[in-house]
Chains A and B, each alone.
Chain A
Amino acid sequence: MTALVRSWQAYRAISGAWVRAAMAYRASFVALALGQVLTSGADFIAIVLMFASIDTLGGFGLGEIALLYGLTGLGLGIADLVAGSTEQLGRRVRDGSLDTMLVRPVPALVQVAADQFALRRIGRISQATVVLGWALLHVDIDWNLTRAALLVTTIGSGAVIYLSIYVLGAAFQFVAGDAAEVQNAFTYGGVTLTQYPLTIYPVEVVRAVTFLLPLAFVNWYPALHLLGRDDPLGLPGWVQAASPLAALALAAVAGVAWRGGVRRYRSTGS
Chain B
Amino acid sequence: MKSRPGGGRLATYAAVASGGFRRYATYRLATAAGVFTNSVFGCIICFTYLALWQERPDIGGWDAQDAVTFVWIGQSLLMTVALFGGGFSDELADRIRTGDIAVDLGRPVDLQGWRYAEDLGRSAFHLLGRGVAPTLVGALLFSLAWPANPLTWLAFLGSVTLAVTVSFAIRYLIGLGAFWVLDVRGFVVVIGFVQLFCSGMVLPLVVFPAGLETALRLLPFAALIQVPAEVLLEKSTGWGLLAALGSQLGWAVVLLGAGRALTRHATRRLVVQGG
The answer to whether B11 has its CB under 8 Å from any CB of chain A is no
Q: Mark A103-132, 1 if CB is under 8 A from B, else 0.
A: 000000000000000000000000000000
Task: List the B residue with the shortest CB-CB distance to A202.
Answer: B47
**Stretch among A51-59, A78-86, A155-163, A244-252 lining the B interface:** A51-59
The answer to whether A4 has its CB under 8 Å from any CB of chain B is no
Question: Which A37-77 residues have C-beta < 8 A from chain B?
Answer: 38-39, 42-43, 45-46, 49-50, 52-58
The answer to whether B51 has its CB under 8 Å from any CB of chain A is yes
- Once the chains bind, are B29 and A57 in contact (CB under 8 Å)? no
Interface of chain B, main secondary structure:
helix
**Stretch among B98-106, B113-121, B163-171, B201-209 lining the A interface:** B201-209
Would you mind naming 28 contact pairs between A and B with Cβ atoms under 8 Å apart?
A: A28-B182, A28-B183, A31-B185, A32-B189, A34-B189, A34-B190, A35-B186, A35-B188, A38-B193, A39-B196, A42-B193, A45-B197, A46-B203, A49-B207, A57-B51, A178-B27, A178-B30, A178-B33, A179-B32, A180-B33, A182-B36, A185-B40, A189-B41, A192-B44, A192-B45, A193-B44, A200-B51, A205-B47
How many angstroms between the C-alpha atoms of A27 and B189 in the bound complex? 13
- Give chain A's interface residues, CB within 8 Å of chain B: 25, 27-28, 30-32, 34-36, 38-39, 42-43, 45-46, 49-50, 52-58, 176-182, 184-185, 188-189, 192-193, 196, 200-202, 205
- Once the chains bind, are B29 and A176 in contact (CB under 8 Å)? yes
- Once the chains bind, are B52 and A45 in contact (CB under 8 Å)? no
Looking at the assembled complex, report how far the CB atom of B29 sits from the nearest CB atom of chain A, in whole angstroms.
4
The answer to whether B48 has its CB under 8 Å from any CB of chain A is yes
Knowing A35-B186, A35-B192, A52-B209, say if A57 contacts B47 (CB, 8 Å): no
Please name all residues of chain B whose beta carbon is closer than 8 Å to the beta carbon of A25 when the two chains form the complex: 182-183
- Once the chains bind, are A42 and B196 in contact (CB under 8 Å)? yes
- Once the chains bind, are B33 and A56 in contact (CB under 8 Å)? no
Please name all residues of chain A whose beta carbon is closer than 8 Å to the beta carbon of B27 when the two chains form the complex: 178
Interface of chain A, main secondary structure:
helix
**Number of B interface residues, CB 8 Å?**
38
Looking at the assembled complex, report how far the CB atom of A177 sits from the nearest CB atom of chain B, in whole angstroms.
8
How many angstroms between the C-alpha atoms of A25 and B181 in the bound complex? 11
Please name all residues of chain A whose beta carbon is closer than 8 Å to the beta carbon of B33 when the two chains form the complex: 176, 178-182
Please name all residues of chain A whose beta carbon is closer than 8 Å to the beta carbon of B56 when the two chains form the complex: 53-54
How many angstroms between the C-alpha atoms of A185 and B208 in the bound complex? 27
Task: List the B residue with the shortest CB-CB distance to A182.
Answer: B33
Please name all residues of chain B whose beta carbon is closer than 8 Å to the beta carbon of A181 when the two chains form the complex: 30, 33-34, 36-37
- Once the chains bind, are A192 and B192 in contact (CB under 8 Å)? no
